[in-house]
Amino acid sequence: MSGSFRTAAVIGAGTIGLSWTALFAGHGLTVAVSDPRPDLADAVAEALARFAPHLTALGLDVDGLADRVHIASDVTGAVRDADIVQENGPESVEFKKELFATLVRTAPRHALLLSSSSAIPATAFTEEIEDAGRILIGHPFNPPHQMPLVEVVPGERTSQDAVQRAVDFYTFLGRTPVVVHKEIPGFVGNRLQYVVAREATYLVQQGVVGPEDVDKVLRNSLGIRWATVGLFLGQHLGGGPGGYRHIVTHIGKSMDEMVTAGEPSQDPECEERVIRAVEKAYGSSPSTELGELRDRRQLAVLTALKQVSEQGSRTGEEKD
């Protein structure tokens, strides 16, 4: 598999792009990075140094990591020899239209053109591009060098070959690609996250609970369950012998009577109260220590799940 993916171009070196850069290089790819930011070289060097321990914890060899990453003077130089292009620019249809038109003209014809777009479907910015068959969404969860999920979302003219190559590429990177079969703004992960976030905001606005306790609830219940079995399997198991059918026909009906999703106020004063409550709990700007704590916890969860999966594979119990 690695023979098919030797070189990558990362367009846009913000939080997502720098994380992709480290992951690509950690898997042995030669990576060219392009971004107009004046501190690009320093930002890349700092990110590689910061992420190297994470890659090591995930079992990757980081020897020579920085030697595999190069700074490109512009987009054309970055993609000239690329097998894979991962775009991480602004969430703007017009920006992506112009950029991907350039990528189609300048990248090798075999290059797969992927966008990290969080909400904009590929069809929205490829309608006027003639060679759109190799363009699709590869949406990660932040940071992609840690979080396994990548949503693979083809546009209306994306070829099946491109979809399969994208799945193969992200699998090679140790990610968990999920093909989204129908374009929808926000895709799947962000839409689910948005619903939970709306309800959490409503509960804080109503004075039911504070931001810290919402996070405690999620960390100590749903977060653990969803990290291990997901939503539908969790409900299926929770239904006992009757499984998911029992949940829907019995418990689900009682929950429908008890719970109505809240509608958080859009009033600026209400929004400001929630913002202040979060800042009171965690500081006006997230500290380095909080980020490092997040990374340690995420890596601990991923390591534990990997160990359980490997043990199950040896005994023939794990199928996921």
Is residue 304 a part of any domain in this protein? Answer: no
Structure confidence at residue 310 (pLDDT): 83
Q: Where among 131, 152, 179 does a domain terminate?
A: 179
pLDDT value for 163 = 98
Q: What is the DSSP string of 131-173?
A: --TTEEEEEEPSSTTT--EEEEEE-TT--HHHHHHHHHHHHHT
Domain holding 222: CATH number?
1.10.1040.10
pTM score > 0.75 for this model?
Answer: yes
Asked whether residue 160 falls in the same domain as residue 12, the answer is: yes
Within this chain, do residues 164 and 202 fall inside the same structural domain, yes or no?
no
Which residues are known to be catalytic? 151
55, 164: one domain: yes
Assess if residue 305 is contained within a domain: no
Residue 202 belongs to domain spanning: 189-285
Tokens representing residue 188 in the block: 């799947």
Q: Does residue 318 lie within any of the structural domains?
A: no
Judge contact between 8 and 173, C-beta under 8 A: no
Residue 315 maps to a domain: no
Q: Same domain for 14 and 155?
A: yes
Q: Are residues 25 and 141 in the same domain?
A: yes
> What secondary structure does DSSP assign to the chain, as a single string?
-GGG--EEEEE--SHHHHHHHHHHHHTT-EEEEE---TTHHHHHHHHHHHHHHHHHHTT---TTTGGGEEE-SSHHHHHTT-SEEEE---S-HHHHHHHHHHHHHHS-TT-EEEE--SS--THHHHTT-S--TTEEEEEEPSSTTT--EEEEEE-TT--HHHHHHHHHHHHHTT-EEEE-SS--TTTTHHHHHHHHHHHHHHHHHTTSS-HHHHHHHIIIIIHHHHHHT-HHHHHHHHTGGGHHHHIIIIIHHHHHHH---------HHHHHHHHHHHHHHH-SS--HHHHHHHHHHHHHHHHHHHHHHHHHHHHT----
**C-alpha dihedral, 206 to 198 to 176 to 103, nearest 10°:** -140
pLDDT of 1: 44
| Domain co-membership, 127 together with 239 | no
State how many domains the chain has. 2
Shared domain for 12 and 161, answered yes or no, is: yes
User: Is residue 310 in a domain?
Assistant: no
State whether 110 and 202 are in the same domain. no
- CB-based contacts of 19, cutoff 8 Å, min separation 6: 47, 51, 140, 142, 143, 144, 145, 146
Look at the block and give the residue holding tokens 């916890």: 297
Does residue 144 sit in the same domain as residue 221?
Answer: no
Which of 117, 151, 179 delimits the end of a domain?
Answer: 179
Mean pLDDT in consecutive groups of 10 residues from the start of the chain, 320 residues: 82 97 97 97 97 94 96 96 97 97 96 97 95 97 96 97 98 97 96 95 95 96 94 90 86 65 89 93 89 90 87 66
| Domain closes at, from 148, 179, 210 | 179
CATH number of the CATH domain containing 171: 3.40.50.720
Domain co-membership, 239 together with 144: no
Q: Is residue 273 part of a domain?
A: yes
Domain contains 193:
yes
- Asked if 280 and 173 sit in the same domain, the reply is no
Residue 292 lies in a domain: no
Residues 149 and 249 in one domain: no
